[in-house]
Structure 1
Amino acid sequence: MASSAVTIPVPGPSGDREVRLSSPDRVLWPEAGITKLDLATYMVEVSEAFLAANGDRPVSLQRFPGGVDGEWFFSKNPPKGAPDYVDAVTVEYPSARSHPQAVLNETAATVWAVQMNTIVFHPWASRAGDTDHPDQLRIDLDPQPGTDFDDAIPAALALRDLLAEAGLTAFVKTSGNRGLHVFAPIEPVLEFLDVRHAVIAAARELERRLPDTVTTNWWKEERGQKMFVDFNQANRDRTMAGAYSPRALPMASVSCPLEWDELGSVDPHSLTIHSIPERLRTIGDPWARMHEKPGRLDTLMEWWARDLENGLGELPFPPDFPKMPGEPPRVQPSRARTPDPN
């Protein structure tokens, strides 16, 4: 029977904080046997690297009250009664509505998020001090049916080289499942739409270089057995699992930063809540120095302008977005009406 609650001492900026954790013995990952207390302990152990990657950013909390096999929902606004060490910042969503969103800036806030049944943390690409201008270019390499993690590796390496040609330093992490996430630090001077266009330009160039294995086709029926470059993850309020965030998958895998030379040998399913703390103790955080030398998107924006001149325009936006200027019809190709020849 689960105990009612425990109090966890959590190191803070001015000494330990006492954070209450209810139902600590509740099993969140049945197959792996990982409890709520195990998750809270993990967050304390990896807090330095986790906060370096995800702190000082608006964050959406993916909450699973019944564990990973149960229902879940996203929580963006800090709930009533949130402790004063959980920060918040007002952000504007694609609908033009504005709301406060949680910002996690210390270890106790991450443990509080666990108390709120958070399993997956989804940080924005922009900082709390300037939420309209991303300081990260993010590209999601998403394996399609018939492909797997090993198929994402050549695409990621080619993307790294491509971004280097554009003056950007790329960093890589596992998605926690089959894909890879490639990030590049950038100066926060462009709006989300411009950064999206830079991502599309990079994606199209990657597709030109690897036409047999990479696709930018938004519609699944057109992708085939290729690596989809998900350009829409660059939009405002579109997020992916943060670095060192657990995933709601059977063995509690983690979205884990890697050194580039690890790609050929790492098993992404071995990077779990159980293994990551020791990994950080022994090899450190591959992303620790990510933001020391942010780049600019000038070259990618030149590629975007070039593609526009060559007739390659806007690509589809997510279905929950308002219709955007220059966007093609949001109609699945197989359902599009064929023009009447008469």
Structure 2
Amino acid sequence: MAKSSEAFVDAGGRSVRISSPERVIYEATDRTPEVTKLMVAQFFADVGDGLMRALRGRPTAMERWPSGVRPGMRLATGPGDRSADAFYQKRVPKGAPDYLETVQITFPSGRTADEVCPTEIAVPVWCAQMGTLTFHPWPVRRADVDRPDELRIDLDPQPGTTFADVRRVAAVARELLAELGLVGYPKTSGNRGVHIYVRIEPRWEFTDVRHAAIGLGRELARRDAGTTVEWWKEERGERVFVDYNQNNRDRTIASAYSLRPLPGAPVSTPLTWAELADLADPREFTLFTVPERLADGDPWAGIDDQAFSLDPLLELWETLPGGELNFPPDYPKMPGEPPRVQPSRKNADNWEADGVTPKPPA
């Protein structure tokens, strides 16, 4: 039997073996050449400082595309989805190198898992060997996996909106954060959205951080009519959705310097606020263009210099009307949560005038 091909990537002084290095992960487009497995691994090594700033010491799930990205390929929707081409790996796979460290986390169900906890750049490079394109770190550090140190503001454009709409809402968010004494760091999502990260003191629970995101989203919607925190898609309209539920336990966002499984090998790319204001097309940030940006410095180099209080945002949560909002459908029923009934499917005869409170049985 012929020996399979291999290559090696220098990752912080470690030599990481890459099998089948010539395998095509991204096909060529009219904007970019094809991308091989070796190129993915080398990319993670090349953006190592920025990538480790996003991952270091955090429980991290891997989004694995072992056969590459092709039209029609699909990411698994759950553990039982066996026909998918790609999947999330939340537990450390067998055969992990001895330098890979782990940390135990607890899911909303109460189950636990040992997840990858990157401590050096060789770990993400090894993850590339396993077909990983996107890293999904928790907003916690291994020292306290129940107290987030990040607020993540996910600005998700809905159908009928443009990237210009997302830029506008991001600018309003920046102004609001500044008024409250907080500093946000923006990045592209790698697709059409924008993420804003705020480092926070690790003394609140996940529910507090989620409530802070709701408070911020409601104030954004008050200032900009093109913004919404409506959970049900049919109520969002052509607005930018502030996805507050991304701050729940076991909810993660693609990290800075992650690749995304879209044509052209786009990258979730940190920006300065000035860059974001002038950005017309986030697709310009790819595996081919991002390493050169880092040669001039990482826009997020100072993100760990300060940790902020959530109190100003929690005050918005307490004072703005609206109360608790829906959790994701895979979550257990949570205290104070509205009924999980799509608004268009409600029978008005079964609800009080507020449309939220069920009428008691006759």
Shorter-normalised TM-score: what interval?
over 0.9
2:211 to 177, 181, 197: 197
Match of 2:107 in 1: 93
Letter aligned with residue 98 of structure 2: D
Letter aligned with residue 136 of structure 1: E
Letter aligned with residue 256 of structure 1: T
Match of 1:131 in 2: 145
Question: Aligned equivalents of 2:109 and 2:222: distance in 1?
Answer: 34
1:214 to 223, 227, 231: 227
1:295 to 290, 308, 325: 308
Letter aligned with residue 119 of structure 2: N
Question: Aligned equivalents of 1:191 and 1:18: distance in 2?
Answer: 39
Q: State the 1:4 CA deviation.
A: 2.3
* Cα deviations by residue, 1:118-167 (Å, 9 ceiling, x for unpaired): 01111111112111111111010000111121110110010011112222
Question: Aligned equivalents of 2:290 and 2:15: distance in 1?
Answer: 24
* Residues 24/11 of structure 1: CA separation in 2 closer, same or farther (3 Å cut): closer
Match of 2:157 in 1: 143
Q: Is the 8 A contact 2:9 2:18 kept in 1?
A: no
Question: Aligned equivalents of 2:59 and 2:243: distance in 1?
Answer: 21
Q: Please provide the CA RMSD for this pair.
A: 1.6
Q: Is the 8 A contact 1:166 1:297 kept in 2?
A: no
Q: Is the 8 A contact 1:7 1:18 kept in 2?
A: no
Further displaced range: 298-307 or 238-247: 298-307
Match of 1:18 in 2: 15
1:272 and 2:286 equivalent? Answer: yes
* Cα deviations by residue, 1:161-208 (Å, 9 ceiling, x for unpaired): 111222211110000110100111111100111000011000001101
Q: Is the 8 A contact 1:3 1:25 kept in 2?
A: no
Match of 1:43 in 2: 44
Q: How many residues align?
A: 333
Letter aligned with residue 68 of structure 1: V
* Secondary structure in structure 1 of the residue aligned to 2:153: strand
* Secondary structure in structure 1 of the residue aligned to 2:155: strand
Match of 1:181 in 2: 195
* Secondary structure in structure 1 of the residue aligned to 2:159: coil
Q: TM-score, normalised by structure 2?
A: 0.89
Question: Aligned equivalents of 1:133 and 1:148: distance in 2?
Answer: 35
Match of 2:81 in 1: none
Question: Aligned equivalents of 1:241 and 1:110: distance in 2?
Answer: 14
1:5 and 2:5 equivalent? Answer: yes
Question: Aligned equivalents of 1:166 and 1:59: distance in 2?
Answer: 30
Q: TM-score, normalised by structure 1?
A: 0.94
Question: Aligned equivalents of 1:39 and 1:17: distance in 2?
Answer: 17
Question: Aligned equivalents of 1:304 and 1:140: distance in 2?
Answer: 17
Within 5 Å, which residues of 2 pair with 1:246-325? 246-266=259-279, 267-281=281-295, 283-307=296-320, 310=321, 312-325=322-335
1:336 and 2:346 equivalent? Answer: yes
Letter aligned with residue 91 of structure 1: I
User: Share of identical aligned residues, percent?
Assistant: 50
Letter aligned with residue 103 of structure 2: V
Question: Aligned equivalents of 1:26 and 1:81: distance in 2?
Answer: 21
1:105 and 2:106 equivalent? Answer: no
* Cα deviations by residue, 1:41-77 (Å, 9 ceiling, x for unpaired): 1011111111011221111100012111231100011
Question: Aligned equivalents of 1:11 and 1:101: distance in 2?
Answer: 21
Question: Aligned equivalents of 1:42 and 1:175: distance in 2?
Answer: 18
Q: Is the 8 A contact 1:139 1:182 kept in 2?
A: yes
* Secondary structure in structure 2 of the residue aligned to 1:264: helix
* Secondary structure in structure 1 of the residue aligned to 2:278: coil
Question: Aligned equivalents of 1:102 and 1:167: distance in 2?
Answer: 34
The answer for unaligned runs of 5 or more in structure 1 is none
* Residues 251/9 of structure 1: CA separation in 2 closer, same or farther (3 Å cut): closer
Q: State the 1:5 CA deviation.
A: 3.1
Q: State the 1:9 CA deviation.
A: 4.3
Question: Aligned equivalents of 1:264 and 1:168: distance in 2?
Answer: 19
